[in-house]
Structure 1
């Protein structure tokens, strides 16, 4: 079946290309190269150095058996690349897609790493989609476009064509469980996310469609190429739209902030692509630089024309109609014999009356009021910054659906289930759960977040970051003076004010 679909897709692309007189040729050579400013060039060079250092540190041969030094080095490279990405967002002409591609490579996804000069595609976390989808094999309807006009409902301007209809069938068959899960998850998150889209003048259905394709409504979704959160932002793109690290928390996992950033991205790109929604959705997946080049080479073509559609990766050709189809079902389930479950998503605040973790709450709350999955996913989604297995003190406020406030009092405070949950969790704290359980419930990105101060104080080695002085490092690790740190590392007095970035320092003298 896969080979058949690939053949159909190839035949469709060839036929369309023949009708259009062949695909537009990409410029090559010096004439086609865009000049960059010295500031941008410096950031690109810095990124290349960081990536080189990162992979060198991950190579066991580099630091022999000094695991602490290797870890400090690749953490430094990752964090420096994040800093450079943040500067890129403020530098005219700097392409953040280059940083996203580098983060994808450093995250260990060789297949997602794109050639130099190309953008990294944002991978979706939804299962059973992608290259095996029949959507990519559907011959697009040439000359039709879907536009988003401010102030109009999506249903007023959206046109159903072949690929979108194929995607509709997929959502209603093999992907139906994903669609229903997304719906249920979204109902509890809606009060956080929809107002951000509403303020931006964008239709809620598109927010739902992107979420259905990208994460299935799982706040902590993390792809192998480094994209994270409900809407799967890459690190550099997230930085560009205000999603950074705050107190060790990656804000790409924050539902409200992610929706705000996504809305800002869409409005920015709608202005660039003259309100052509299909082109913007394609840019979100396949890279805005790629789509802008294709649009420039074929200014009068619609997304479905071969000058555009046939030049896109299979993933992007699949991605656009799948997002549109999910959005359409969000608006018109009754037209396709689809019934979304009724969810009471009214928001509430639960104040803990005694010490407990999110995992304990999920056990004692049970599945009352929830169709089949219980409340663990919802508790995690609404409290994204909280480690679900970390006990929280009494009086901690938690975001919950309103119905859980009374259920908590009934089951967890006065009922027997609170004791059962506490007994199970005591065993968890005493004996860490199997790796399979951890990976299923606490999925963390391969590269570490910025090093916390507490962790830094315990580290035997430290890699000097750009702009740091020996005195500042000494203060950070509790040394008596910079001189003490210099002596421990063989640094001469005359060189104390000029410690080069990237140097590995032994800081054990400060932590004894």
Structure 2
């Protein structure tokens, strides 16, 4: 387990933050009557919060919500006054608030009823989800997805230290739009990704945190190093966990398969690192081989131990707390003055009444159902095998959020909007002629259309590996071949190359 440090008032609302900032630490000598009065109010607020849990157990949800609010308001007010009162220790309030957050997570009382906040409803298990383990079933539905990590509570494993606090600030300021987009994208794909984590008894918050940092929920994201998909698998690692190529489609872009592979990887690394979450995430970002060597040379040390932390790349030192901070915000938005949008990601389908591309559908759907930024990203994420610019034949089935079924019938099946969309789309085709289209039958079955020039299956040229070469850098030197093409042509199982090695490089047709 990683070492623990005291959690600061960044976990608390603004009023408690002000208390910590005042610098009123513990002082020697007996507490004054004013300080004792504040501590009494703190204890009363804590008991009030616990009483709200009992009320929720009895089914009195409205009264539980009112009692909880009163308790938290009392705690905030007393904490703010503590910061202005000589001799009062704000860290006592921070400790109480931390405990209440753990109560909310179910870390102290496993059988408590689901939190009645909006976030509790958002992350609750969906009808038809897999049953899961006995331990998971003992928890309320809204908490099954957020608390357990290989038998331990996520809140208990969270180290709220300086790097995580800095990551929280980053998500809540400069990267706030990215965080909100990631949340919307995830909720639309939740039914595809969450079951793999649920089956593995991994917390949903962790899945969201990884996805938010890796891709922001963009299924077709590709990094400069060649990592691809919503969870950014490298080619060789993807192959190891079953992500290969099918009919020209890179399965790293499939959100369901990527989530399954990610869950298997996290399980494997948790076992390797004795359930140390930070080390597991560091392995996911920086490579498990490197992390295992570092851990083996520093037995018992946690990720933030200088012996470990000092050997991490700047990217990995940033990655781990950013993932944890996003996961924590997923669980506790109200504690950071953050409100997640209400997203209806229930799955649905449409059957095209007329030929259209995903781009055309995006135009004719407009801002239907209040989607201010349009539906392009959602349509692409839910139908990752399709080129958004290729016209799909009538009768093609597409996965969409259920709420779009009526919107499609009213806006895209007939009328002026599909005509406008087709006109704009045809203009794009005139400027940039599309690649040879796949057959109508292949499109209707969801196969990936051809995109750009592809390497010939037979023609190739020779390339000698130089010092510093990688498959990614070699692929960049060619006009059309990618990492997968080169690996397949040379029978490579991974990215390991040797100086002087002769490779066959595909030639474009």
Partner residue, 1:211: 211
Partner residue, 1:107: none
Cα distance in 2 between the residues matched to 1:326 and 1:456: 40
Q: State the Cα distance separating 1:336 from its structure 2 match.
A: 0.4
Contact 1:171 1:179 in 2 (8 A): yes
Partner residue, 1:426: 426
The Cα offsets for residues 146-171 of structure 1, whole Å up to 9 and x where unpaired, read as: x9742444224323122111111111
Q: Please state whether the residue corresponding to 2:389 is helix, strand or coil.
A: coil
Contact 2:455 2:507 in 1 (8 A): no
Q: State the Cα distance separating 1:363 from its structure 2 match.
A: 0.5
In the TM superposition, 1:388-427 aligns within 5 A as 388-427=388-427
Q: State the Cα distance separating 1:428 from its structure 2 match.
A: 2.1
Contact 1:148 1:157 in 2 (8 A): no
Does the C-alpha gap of structure 1 residues 328 and 430 become closer, same or farther in structure 2, counting only changes over 3 Å?
same
Q: State the Cα distance separating 1:507 from its structure 2 match.
A: 13
- The count of corresponding residues between Structure 1 and Structure 2 is 310
Q: Which runs of 5+ in 2 are unaligned?
A: 1-146, 435-447, 463-501
Are residue 386 (structure 1) and residue 386 (structure 2) matched? yes
Q: State the Cα distance separating 1:225 from its structure 2 match.
A: 1.0
Partner residue, 2:350: 350
**Higher RCO (C-alpha under 8 Å, 6+ residues apart):** 1
In the TM superposition, 1:195-234 aligns within 5 A as 195-234=195-234
Partner residue, 2:265: 265
Partner residue, 2:377: 377
Q: State the Cα distance separating 1:505 from its structure 2 match.
A: 12
Q: Please state whether the residue corresponding to 2:412 is helix, strand or coil.
A: helix
**TM-score by structure 1 length?**
0.57
Does the C-alpha gap of structure 1 residues 160 and 431 become closer, same or farther in structure 2, counting only changes over 3 Å?
same
Contact 1:205 1:330 in 2 (8 A): yes
In the TM superposition, 1:265-304 aligns within 5 A as 265-304=265-304
Runs of 4+ residues over 3 Å off in structure 1:
454-457, 459-464, 501-508
Partner residue, 1:323: 323
Q: Please state whether the residue corresponding to 1:413 is helix, strand or coil.
A: coil
Cα distance in 2 between the residues matched to 1:230 and 1:387: 17
Does the C-alpha gap of structure 1 residues 354 and 158 become closer, same or farther in structure 2, counting only changes over 3 Å?
same
Does the C-alpha gap of structure 1 residues 433 and 161 become closer, same or farther in structure 2, counting only changes over 3 Å?
farther
Does the C-alpha gap of structure 1 residues 260 and 225 become closer, same or farther in structure 2, counting only changes over 3 Å?
same
Cα distance in 1 between the residues matched to 2:212 and 2:395: 35
Cα distance in 1 between the residues matched to 2:179 and 2:157: 23
Contact 2:165 2:325 in 1 (8 A): yes
Partner residue, 1:157: 157
Partner residue, 2:93: none
**TM-score by structure 2 length?**
0.57
Partner residue, 2:359: 359
Q: Please state whether the residue corresponding to 1:395 is helix, strand or coil.
A: coil
Structure 1 window deviating more from structure 2 (423-432 vs 342-351): it is: 423-432
Does the C-alpha gap of structure 1 residues 505 and 313 become closer, same or farther in structure 2, counting only changes over 3 Å?
closer
Q: State the Cα distance separating 1:407 from its structure 2 match.
A: 0.4
Q: Please state whether the residue corresponding to 1:369 is helix, strand or coil.
A: helix
Q: State the Cα distance separating 1:300 from its structure 2 match.
A: 1.5
In the TM superposition, 1:176-255 aligns within 5 A as 176-255=176-255
Q: State the Cα distance separating 1:395 from its structure 2 match.
A: 1.0
CA RMSD of aligned residues (A): 2.9
